[in-house]
Structure 1
Amino acid sequence: MSYKSDIEIAREAKKKPIQEIGAKLGIPTDHLLPYGHDKAKVSQDYITSVQGNKNGKLILVTAINPTPAGEGKTTTTVGLGDGLN
């Protein structure tokens, strides 16, 4: 059986608007700083406001060496998000 590579899976993914993803996570649109239609940074005000919550984790992927196939921060972050969903 042949498995698809991470990059093949990533290229086949159907992206959703970042506001839709934020809403699913309970992040108000005004706390998303968009970079295009499908990615954004979360405001520091929002991060500060949820620090006291018992449930939840913030995982920052800030530096990683990409593989020869180009799998790096984005692929790792998407994999983590899928795994935690």
Structure 2
Amino acid sequence: LADGYIHLSTAEQLTETVDKHFAGQSDLHVAAVDLGSFGAGLKWEESRGGQLFPHLYGGPLLLETVIAYGPLERDADGRVKLPVAG
């Protein structure tokens, strides 16, 4: 709310985002969303290390845009696993 948009991360950015902003927290969940459903409300903006991150402006993140979700789990290498739909 303070920034005026919802911060999102790509699959490739997810582990670093979780490690940086949610370190030590438990009971986290991951939601995969259909970025194409946001239209002009989605803006790719430079952030951490010059990477482009998706930011959702001008509205709520609707449940119908969520294509998969689940508890945050990591693989053997410590990378956050993406949720599986269905």
TM-score (norm 2): 0.28
TM-score by length of 1: 0.29
* Bigger share in strand: 2
Higher helix fraction: Structure 1 or Structure 2? 1
